[in-house]
Amino acid sequence: MKIKSWLQIGLTLCLAFSLWSTMSSTKAQAADGLPFSDISNSYWAKDTIQWGYEAGLVNGYKDGQFKPNKTVSEAEFLAMLIRTFEPEVTSSKTGNWANPYYARAKALNYPVSSYTNTTTRNQILTRTGVAQLISSAEGVNYTGNDAIQYMLALGLANGSDASQVSIASFKGSKALTRAEALQFIKNFADYGVGGLLDRPTEASNPADLPALPTAN
């Protein structure tokens, strides 16, 4: 019985030490100035995430993580985009939380899935959807690949292949992640028109699109 008790105590201590080591290691890797255990100083979007966190655009989860690769819904992205430039627009405390953002999107004529259907708001946003929303905020009306070309040509986005800037490298059908969402919005804040413009009711002429930049 004594041997069994000592074995149980030893196993308990080993488990406790293992958990403490894991927690200490995770904490040590967390980026400076951020409370997220899964974002290190070397993470590619660390500065962007810090920008979004300090601006009050994003928060972490209860487990202390930011979850940068988690997908983003249309409603979540629209809320971040509008609050970046119009912080007076806030989530609703009654009804659907995103109603104020969709009301503003309707006033600006932005291309969202629906102004009233709360179910479609929760659908995962693609990178093409982002291109259409951000180009709309620049005061043009482009869709699909034209919206992607607008983003790439004006430096509001980069493709995944640094050696070749192309529509294909943008990967428009790919689902948007939290880290990517913030990067798109920060690019727009840094290099865009400085605010949210109305989207024209008529489609913009593709002939007016600037050419894609050549790779360095």
CB 10 within 8 A of CB 17: no
Residue 213 lies in a domain: no
- The reply to whether 93 and 17 lie within a common domain is no
Q: How far is CA 197 from CA 91, 105, 107, 137, 182, in A?
A: 21, 11, 10, 5, 19
101 shares its domain with 10: no
Q: Are residues 105 and 201 in the same domain?
A: yes
pTM of the predicted protein model: 0.82
For residue 161, give every residue at least 6 positions away whose Cβ sits within 8 Å of its Cβ, in sequence order, or none.
169
Judgement on whether residues 204 and 124 belong to the same structural domain of the protein: yes
Total domains in the fold of the chain: 2
Q: For residues 23 and 76, state if they share a domain.
A: no
Please report, in tens digits, the pLDDT of each residue of the chain (216 residues total). Answer: 454 454 454 444 444 444 444 444 444 456 777 999 999 999 999 999 999 999 999 999 999 999 999 999 999 999 999 999 999 999 999 999 999 999 999 999 999 999 999 999 999 999 999 999 999 999 999 999 999 999 999 999 976 555 678 999 999 999 999 999 999 999 999 999 999 999 999 999 999 999 998 755
124 with 195, same domain: the answer is yes
Report d(CA 81, CA 189) in Å as an integer.
9
- C-alpha span between 176 and 15 (Å, rounded): 38
* Cβ contact 154:127 at 8 Å: no
Query: Does residue 41 fall inside a structural domain?
Result: no
Its domain, for residue 3, covers: 1-30
Query: Do 147 and 200 share a domain, yes or no?
Result: yes
Q: Do 155 and 102 fall into the same domain?
A: yes
7 and 73 share a domain?
Answer: no
**Residue 186 falls inside a structural domain:** yes
